[in-house]
Structure 1
Amino acid sequence: MKQILFAASEAVPFIKTGGLADVVGSLPKYFDKEKYDVRVMLPKYLCMKEEWRNQLQYRTHFYMDLNWRTEYVGILELQYEGITFYFIDNEYYFSGWAPYGDMYADIEKFAFFSKAVLSALPVIGFRPDIIHCHDWQTGLIPIFLDNFRYGNEYYRGIKTIMTIHNLKFQGTWDTKRVQDITGLPSYYFVPDKLEAYKDANYLKGGIVYADRITTVSSTYAEEIKTPFYGEKLDGLMNARAGSLSGIVNGIDYDDYNPETDKHIARNYSVKNFRKEKVKNKVALQEELNLERDNHAMMIGIVSRLTDQKGFDLIDCVLDELCQDAIQIVALGTGEAKYENMFRHYAWKYPGKVSANIYYSEPMSHKIYASCDAFLMPSLFEPCGLSQLMSLRYGTLPIVRETGGLKDTVEPYNEYEKTGTGFSFSNYNAHEMMATVRYAEQIFYDRKRDWNKIVERAMEQDFSWNHSAREYEKLYDEL
């Protein structure tokens, strides 16, 4: 029986700010229970929903040195869907209104968390063969582990994997301050270890010291070796290329299932979507005060409204696109300029554009189920989950060929009659618009072909089962 510990800063259903939480919360359930005992360790945030906080069982506590301070470390536990979750408790660090706040506070908070994860292992009686670290918040774990091995037999032989969900976020701060917080010896703070461009960099340290590095799609694993996507770490990524691999994320096929989804107006399947799917569209048109027209092509957008997600391209051509026979439904929050852009077009084209500047899980399900196409023109996208959800619901993704989007959406080929969506390669607004219009043309003029693409999309398997098998292979190699 191999013992695996996931260490991360968030996981569904306890705390979520992005796709990282979906991975850490869902993936452990899909491992072969006879061969792998996978457990998860998280911070116990005060901002967790009370229903979860009340279910946590106190296990034990101890005191830990963090350089010159002595800190309380509480350990709580919860069994959820067959997985053991541990929560590290310290009110000084985890009492904020949100899991992340100011960077200087987060730097200390996650130094504490990283050391506490390792210090808790002997206390809870779980010695993992592999610690699977996620993103910069756990980047110090492989370094503390290296440091603990001197003079402590217990920690020898534990392997680490560092998974990069988004290389843009690295956890960097002034070297002197990080040295003071962590108490790590100065030989770690050099350019071939923790230091990058004169600052201490948590993610870089994790990448240098981890036994294996993974990222969330094979295309992104290649892209981050180039200066454009490498966020100044492309040299390091090339140096560690032999230990780097990409494994595409999955989605929870129980949560996202058009046949059983409780959030949508009409359930449907790959067998009956031709008749039933459109009923969701009509229901959403009524709910959002769009023109009622079950023949109109509806395009959905569910996203953080940021530059990374390609909204500058949309901004460039949205007015022109609104001249077409389409409807656009957007859901999400983010940069004010993009929130206001959608509000403006919803005001200018009231029956055609619906701007929902908030986030709601039920509304996102309605959009995946109701729309005909889903627009995701990202500048870069390590994996992306929205396109997987839209494929599952037979809502054809229109994406830019980058990262996970390139790995998961096969562009339609009208001659070979293959493909599960539409894509364009250059980061260019007019190329995006041409692709949207090509999709419109297939939708309106070749309905039979369109329905065949929908059928192929709905038959794809991007469940966690597939990803779990890939991770199991990696664990076995280690």
Structure 2
Amino acid sequence: MAGGLRVLFLSPEVVPFAKTGGLADVAGALPGALKRLGVDARLVLPLYRMVREKDFDMRPVLENLKVPIGKENLTANILETQTEDGVPVYLIEREDMYDRPNLYGTPEGDYYDNFERFTFLAHASLKLTELIPFRPEVIHCHDWQTGLVPALMKGPYADVPFFRDIRCVFTVHNLGYQGLFSAEKLPLTGLPEGQFFRAEGLEYWGKISLLKAGIVYSDAVTTVSPKYGQEIQTPEYGMGMDGILYHRRAYLRGILNGVDYGRWDPAKDSHLAANYSPQKMGGKSRCKKAIIDEMKLDRKLNKRPLLGMISRLDAQKGLDLLVEIIDDILALEVALVVLGTGDEKIQNAIQEAAERHPGRVGLKIGF
């Protein structure tokens, strides 16, 4: 890859700052990997409460940045920190929008004002980009929370000289989360209704879909694997978006998510009870014993298979299937440990299974 390419990543979550799922892992690892190839990469995300609580070294770079929301101008402060790889990170501070216990909602449902929160993120990201000493050649947006950005670049920001020739890439990490909102909220975006709220635009069955906005208005669309890129163009897996994805197939690429082996290496991971490698596997049994003890499972399981699952607890991830067969799985004399958060009904169902099978099921709510 030629050096000097400038890429700005916009993501609603990034490891190690804020995380609910695999999106954060990709958004945290990819900029560092590109930096090692000579790319000048930067990151933008909201300054959530969980970011502030981790006590990163942050410095203010912009104060009272004016951000348009409908007919009003709100303000935001911009702070800067960096990743372990030295990638600059710009954090958008707006207390009433992002200083909350969770990123997107509670187990009972999404926050009622998520449209406003992520419309604000889209405008604030573009506004701060004009003011920092960095002009990207590519803006890389991730999932529905940033899907408005490509539309804005084709709309109210199209005539801004700064954004001319900047290309926009949109990555679909999970097609099940489509950013659906009432059409009445469109004026908050600043997008002209006649030009954008139509079947060929961001309109989706009478609603706004911010995911569709990202797919339609970006210069290129990527997703998490070649196979998934094919599957989402079909009615079976397209979740209602297969038509528009097929229409944009010339601009759609499936790129397999990589793994940051510098971070995910059991041979040197300090968080494990013991390290192990293909050449020295003894530490793996000590790790298994540590999980059994931590989850207060039956110690007889040291000699039985222990199954582990790390996932968002959601039907879209297939957790409803786990709930249906969990008793059949446990009938095989194995144990199950689940780490995740999400749908309260699924959480309760796994907890009930733990009560029916004492010492055989461990559930930790978190991610």
- Relative to the length of structure 2, the TM-score reads 0.89
Q: 2:344 & 2:61 partners in 1: Cα distance?
A: 44
Q: 2:209 & 2:328 partners in 1: Cα distance?
A: 44
- CA RMSD across the alignment: 2.2
Question: What is aligned with 2:361?
Answer: 354
Question: What is aligned with 1:434?
Answer: none
1:320 aligns with 2:328: yes
Q: 2:131 & 2:233 partners in 1: Cα distance?
A: 40
1:269 aligns with 2:277: yes
Larger Rg: 1
Q: For residue 346 of structure 1, what is the amino acid of its counterpart?
A: A
Q: For residue 354 of structure 1, what is the amino acid of its counterpart?
A: V
Conservation of the 8 A alpha-carbon contact between 1:5 and 1:40: yes
Q: 2:54 & 2:356 partners in 1: Cα distance?
A: 42
Structure 2 residue runs of 5 or longer lacking an equivalent are none
Call closer, same or farther: CA 1:204–1:272 in 2, change over 3 Å: same
Pairing 1:19-418 to 2, within 5 Å after superposition = 19-33=22-36, 35-52=38-55, 55-61=57-63, 62-81=65-84, 82-101=86-105, 102=110, 104-178=112-186, 180-186=187-193, 187-273=195-281, 275-287=282-294, 288-292=296-300, 294-351=302-359, 353-359=360-366
Is the deviation greater in 199-208 or in 96-105? 96-105
Deviations 1:356-399 (A, max 9, x none): 24236xxxxxxxxxxxxxxxxxxxxxxxxxxxxxxxxxxxxxxx
Deviation at 1:237, TM superposition (A): 0.4
Percent identity among equivalent residues? 37
Call closer, same or farther: CA 1:141–1:335 in 2, change over 3 Å: closer
Question: What is aligned with 1:4?
Answer: 7
Deviations 1:300-358 (A, max 9, x none): 2223333233333333333333332423333334434433443344334334x122242
Question: As a proportion of its length, which structure holds more helix?
Answer: 1
Deviations 1:187-246 (A, max 9, x none): 111111121111121111111110100011111111111112212111000000111011
Q: 2:290 & 2:182 partners in 1: Cα distance?
A: 53
Q: For residue 185 of structure 2, what is the amino acid of its counterpart?
A: R
Q: 1:330 & 1:177 partners in 2: Cα distance?
A: 38
Q: For residue 79 of structure 1, what is the amino acid of its counterpart?
A: Q
Deviation at 1:294, TM superposition (A): 4.1
Deviation at 1:103, TM superposition (A): 5.1
The count of aligned residue pairs is 356
Q: List 4+ stretches of structure 1 deviating above 6 A.
A: none
Deviation at 1:133, TM superposition (A): 0.4
Conservation of the 8 A alpha-carbon contact between 1:148 and 1:155: no
Conservation of the 8 A alpha-carbon contact between 1:339 and 1:357: no
- Relative to the length of structure 1, the TM-score reads 0.69
Q: 2:342 & 2:159 partners in 1: Cα distance?
A: 48
Q: For residue 55 of structure 2, what is the amino acid of its counterpart?
A: W
Deviations 1:27-46 (A, max 9, x none): 11111446310000111224
Deviation at 1:134, TM superposition (A): 0.5
Q: 1:330 & 1:31 partners in 2: Cα distance?
A: 33
Deviations 1:261-306 (A, max 9, x none): 2232321110122x44223333433442313354322222223333
Call closer, same or farther: CA 1:272–1:227 in 2, change over 3 Å: same
